[in-house]
Amino acid sequence: MKVVMLGAPGAGKGTQAKKMAERWQIPHISTGDIFRANIKAGTELGAKAKEYMDQGLLVPDELVVDLVVDRLQQEDCKDGYILDGFPRTIPQAEALDAALEKVNDKLDKAINIDVPDENIINRMSGRRACVQCGATYHITYNPTKVEGKCDACNADLILRDDDKPETVKKRLGVYHEQTQPLIDYYAGKGILSNIDGTIGMDEVFHSIEKVLGA
């Protein structure tokens, strides 16, 4: 089972991808993890990626695809994998398909966790992070015992810049422009399933299980 996860930032695709990885015993793969692993291992691809990252530049699509395909050919991916956060654009999706075809491989399913922008802004602006230990909470869905204080270490909680409504709106704008077209791309290939992401986390997961025939 080879799956790509789609959805706006804050839609919960990372959470669901982790649950899927546990349920089906296949790796949950994000490009950030691949970059870090290759840089740490000192691979040739990792060294190339580091050059761009050290200059604060985006790693070019061609190199990202090479890194991803290299990861997907490792032994732990033989029964499948879940791609999270890649591809982000149509050119990346086309390059990934072409590279997979060369190694006689292809994606089985694209799962889009569908959540309206308004819900995402409310969700993310309700997040709070501990300044000391990094634990995260939500003022509505996962509140602390004492308001504004971390349950684990009693340090102060903050609203991170990334989660401020104005920042979230900007991130959603980039998503709609660059990444949302992937929904039509995978629908055109006949492998897209839309999942309502406004229901509870467990219900979202049950919907994914149904889609994947579990």
Q: Which residues participate in catalysis according to the annotation?
A: 13, 88, 127, 160, 171
Dihedral sign from CA coordinates of 116, 121, 122, 127: positive
Cα–Cα distances in Å, from 114 out to 7, 87, 89? Answer: 6, 17, 17
Distance CA 19, CA 205 (A): 8
Distance CA 15, CA 7 (A): 12
For residue 136, what are the β-bridge partners?
129
CB 208, CB 20: distance < 8 Å: yes
By DSSP bridging, strand 157-158 and strand 127-130 are antiparallel
